[in-house]
Amino acid sequence: MLIETGIPTPEDIQSVTPSEERFRKGPVAIAECFQKIPCNPCTKACVKQAIRVEPDINETPKIDYDVCNGCGACIARCPGLAIFVVDKTYGENEALVKLPFEFLPIPEAGQKACGLDRSGKELGWFRVEKVIPGGKKNMTYTICLAVPKELAMEVRNIRVGGYQNG
Q: Is the pLDDT of residue 125 over 90?
A: yes
Q: What is the mean pLDDT of the chain?
A: 95
pTM for this one? 0.95
Top-confidence residue, 1 or 106: 106
Q: Are 152 and 117 in contact (CB under 8 A)?
A: no
As a whole number, mean pLDDT of residues 126-148 equals 95
- Predicted local distance difference test score (pLDDT) of residue 4: 83
Query: What sign results for the dihedral spanned by CA atoms 93, 97, 103, 108?
Result: positive
**Confidence band for 137, pLDDT divided at 50, 70 and 90:** confident
In single-letter form, the type of residue at position 99 comes to L
